[in-house]
Amino acid sequence: MHPKVSIVIPVYNVEQYIDRCIQSVLNQTLQDFEIILVDDGSPDNCPKICDKYAASDPRIKVVHKANAGLGMACNSGIEVATGKYIAFLDSDDWIDSAMYYTMCSIADSQNADIIFTGLRRVNEKGESYIMSQANQKNIYYNSTEIQSLALDMIASKPKIKRERRVAMSAKVVLYKVDIIKTHNIRFLSERQFISEDLIFNLDYLMHSHTAIELPMTFYNYFVNESSLSNSIRRDRFEKYLILREKLINRYFPQETIWRERINRLFIGYVRHTIGATFRCYNLTKSDKYQWVSNICNNPIWEQLHNEYPITKMPVGHRLIFFLIYNRHIRLLRLIFLLTKN
C-alpha cells in the first residue's frame, strides 16, 4: 500500500533544528505519509539522528549520500518516493499540523496536479510575517491560465511594485509523483543555478492541467537575520546573469512576455543584491564600491535599457535602474542606506 504523500527532507548540518522539523511532520493530522530524510553528507550528528528516527518509525526512510547540495538531495528523495503526492521540506523549517491533510484533500477532490500555499517567515526571535499567500482560492484549468500563473511566479508585470504574486519556493507546494517521474522533472543544482525551485516549478507547470492556489499558510521558513546581514556571496551577480540566460533559452525564447518577466526578475534580484551589499557589515567601503561598480559596468544594462519598458516601472524601481545604468554608485549607496528596500 503506497502512502498518500512522500515528504522529502534534505538534511545538512542542522542538528539543532532537525527534531523540530521532523516532529512537525509526525504531528500532522494526515498520518498516511512517508518521510524521506536525505543526509547530504552532513558533518554533524544529523546522520545518527536520522537513523534513530528511521529505527523508531517504519514510515521514515534515510538516504545517506555524499554532499552535493540541496537540489541534488531533493532528487535523491524523488528517486525513492512511493507516495501519490510529494512535498519538500527544509530541515531547519517546520510546518503547521494541517498542511498535508488540507493540500492532499483538495488535490484529491478536484483532481489537481499541483497545489500552492503561502509562506511564513520566522526569525530567531520568533517574530513572523506572511511573505506570500493568495488572497483567494484560484483554480487554473488550461494551458493559457497555467502560463499566466507561471509568469506571475517569475515576476510581476513591469508596473507593479510587488516583485511577484506567486512564491517560487517548492517547499509550499504539493506535486503528483507520477508527473515528476513520467516527465523526468528534477531539480538543477543551486550551485550552478540560483532559484532552482523556480526552474523546477516552471518545468512541472508545463505538464500540469489543473493548478490550485490556496489562501492558506502552513509553512514556517526560518531565517537567522543576524547572519544574513554579515554575508554576501561574491558570485551572486554572475549567477543572476546565468539564471537569466537559462530561463530565456528554456521557456519560449521568442515570446516577448516571457522575456519581459525574466528581465523583471533579474532587475529585482540585482536591486536587492546592491542593497544587501551596501548594508553588509563585513565588507569595507572600498569593496562595496568595487562590487557595485562591477555590476553597473556590465553591458547587460545597455541591453535592458533598450528592451525593458522602463517607463512602466514604479518610480522607486525606475530611479534605481537609472542610477545603475548611469553608474551613480554614491547615490545608490545613499538611497539604500536610507531605506530598507
Greatest extent of the chain over all pairs of C-alpha atoms, in Å = 63
| 4-18, 255-269, 273-287: range with lowest mean pLDDT | 273-287
Residue type, 154: I
**229 pLDDT more than 50:** no
Tens of pLDDT along 107-158? 999 999 999 999 999 998 889 999 999 999 999 999 899 999 999 999 999 9
Q: Under a CB-based contact definition with an 8 Å cutoff, are residues 167 and 132 in contact?
A: yes
pTM surpassing 0.85?
Answer: yes
Cell of 262: 525574466
User: What's residue 340's pLDDT?
Assistant: 67
What is the average pLDDT across 189-218? Answer: 95
Axis crossing angle, helix 329-338 with helix 315-325, rounded to the nearest 10: 150
How big is the CA angle at 215 (ends 213 and 220), to the nearest 5 degrees? 100
Strand (E) or helix (H) holding 131? strand 128-132
DSSP state of 188: P
- Give the percent of the chain with pLDDT over 90: 87
Q: Which domains does the chain carry?
A: 5-226 (3.90.550.10), 231-338 (no CATH)
Residues 280, 160: Cα–Cα separation, whole Å: 28
Separation CA 197–CA 172 (nearest Å): 11
Q: What is the pLDDT of residue 339?
A: 84
Tell me the CA distances in angstroms from 139 to 60, 84, 127, 210, one per residue in order: 33, 21, 32, 7
Give the pLDDT confidence score for residue 102 in this predicted structure.
98
Structure confidence by residue, pLDDT tens digits, 242-271 = 999 999 998 877 789 999 999 999 999 999
pLDDT at 226 over 90: no
Kindly provide the b/e burial profile for residues 195-226, where b requires at least 16 CB atoms within 10 angstroms of the residue's own CB: bbbbbbbbbbbeebebbbbbebbbbbbbeeee
State phi, psi for 155 to the nearest 5 degrees: -170, 165
